[in-house]
Each structure stands twice: as C-alpha cells, then as structure tokens.
C-alpha cells in the first residue's frame, strides 16, 4: 500500500516543500556555479530509472570542462572546482534532483541512479535494484555511500527493494541528514567519488 500509493504522494509534497524552503540557497549556488563553470551551473545526464527507463538527471555542475592538448577531458580531480568541492562536500549538488522527484522520475529514497552503461554489467540479482524508482538517497548511501564496494552497494539496494516501508524511509531520511552534517562517505580513497563499476568481469 505504501509503495504503490503513499510513497509517491509523500515524495511530491516533501520535495515541493523542500525546494520552496531551499530556494534562496538554490539560487545562490546557481549564481556561484554559473560564474565558476562559464555559464553552466547545471549538469544533465541520462540515467536509468525504474525498470531501466532512461531519464535526464539534474545536478549542480561541480566540475569544469577543461581538456588537455588532445581535447580529452582532464581527470575528475583536475576539473573539480573550489566551489564545486564545497557544494559536493555538503551534498548541495543533489538539490536539483528534487525536480526529478516532483516530475515522478525519482523518489526521495531508493537506489542511486547509476550510469546507463552499467545496465548490461549487472547480474540477475543486481538488476533487481531497478524494480523501484531511483532515489536521491538510499540504504546504501547511509551505510557507506562511496566508501563501500560495488557488491555491497548492490546488496544494500536489493535489500531495500525487498524491505521498503514508510518507517524504513523515515529512518534513511534521518540518517541522511546526519551523514550530510558530518560529510561522511563522500569519496573512495584515491577517487573524487567512487571507482568505475566493471561488473562481474573483474
């Protein structure tokens, strides 16, 4: 009952209210990133939603588009701007995804939407993470985020699919607030965020 009906209603109203409350901060970050990224404050990218259906995720753009002499983008660590690092550390880059939630493409709580090229690398169990809408935060995020292995992330994601409930979502929401305040689990050692997923071939 909760997953089928009330979760969407809760997502919509909490996201709309959150966006309204955070509007001054949203505008401030947008202006700062506009100047830091040559007029490009937002980052748009195709991501798989429920059942693998692609949608365009919206995030604040924390890295510039600088390239080397051959026209290849520099490594993430070289492109992360000073203001971008602060936005990412405080998880402010996730705020625009409230728009995705309002549109019904995402949920507040659910497995994080990963890259489309990962879809073909999942095994049958890992693929079950796409049985629900992706979320801004989720069970894997509050249990290690980018500091745990891909295998552990997928185990947490599938566990969430099987145990989703109102009480669990509220628990994850509260744990997320705590994680944001202490800036925990932002990146894996040696990476700006997390290493690339190579599937079961590695």
Query: Across the 202 residues of the chain, what is the mean pLDDT of every consecutive 10-residue run?
Result: 93 96 96 92 96 96 87 85 90 94 97 95 96 96 87 96 97 91 57 69 48
Residue 194 lies in a domain: no
Residue 144 lies in a domain: yes
- Please report the pLDDT score of residue 186 as a whole number: 52
Cα–Cα distances in Å, from 117 out to 52, 111, 127, 202?
11, 16, 13, 16
- Please report the pLDDT score of residue 202 as a whole number: 45
- Please report the pLDDT score of residue 194 as a whole number: 64
Residue 66 lies in a domain: yes
Residue 36 lies in a domain: yes
- Please report the pLDDT score of residue 189 as a whole number: 47
Residue in 133, 140, 139, 132 with CA at minimum distance from that of residue 197? 140
Residue 29 lies in a domain: yes
Q: Are 129 and 113 in contact (CB under 8 A)?
A: no
- Please report the pLDDT score of residue 12 as a whole number: 97
Environment class of 70 (CB within 10 Å of its CB; exposed 0-12, middle 13-18, buried 19+): exposed
Residue 155 lies in a domain: yes
Residue 197 lies in a domain: no
Give the structural domain span for 133.
2-183
- Please report the pLDDT score of residue 185 as a whole number: 53
* Total-model pTM: 0.87
Residue 89 lies in a domain: yes
Q: Are 148 and 180 in contact (CB under 8 A)?
A: no
Structural domains of the chain, count: 1
């Amino acid at each position: 009952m909760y997953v089928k009906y009330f979760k969407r209603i809760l997502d919509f109203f909490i996201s709309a209210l959150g966006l309204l409350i955070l509007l001054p901060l949203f505008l401030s970050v947008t202006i700062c990133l506009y100047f830091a990224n040559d007029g490009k404050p937002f980052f748009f990218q195709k991501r798989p939603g429920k059942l693998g259906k692609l949608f365009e995720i919206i995030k604040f753009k924390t890295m510039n588009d600088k390239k080397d002499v051959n026209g290849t983008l520099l490594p993430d660590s070289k492109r992360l701007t000073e203001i971008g690092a602060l936005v990412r550390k405080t998880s402010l880059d996730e705020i625009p995804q409230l728009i995705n939630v309002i549109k019904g493409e995402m949920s507040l709580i659910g497995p994080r939407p990963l890259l489309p090229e990962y879809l073909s690398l999942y095994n049958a169990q890992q693929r079950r993470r796409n049985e629900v809408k992706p979320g801004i935060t989720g069970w894997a995020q509050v249990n290690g985020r980018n500091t745990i292995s891909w295998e552990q992330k997928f185990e947490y994601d599938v566990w969430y699919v099987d145990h989703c409930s109102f009480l669990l979502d509220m628990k994850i929401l509260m744990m997320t607030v705590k994680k944001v305040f202490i800036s925990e689990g932002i990146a894996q050692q040696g990476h700006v965020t997390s290493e690339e997923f190579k599937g079961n071939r590695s």
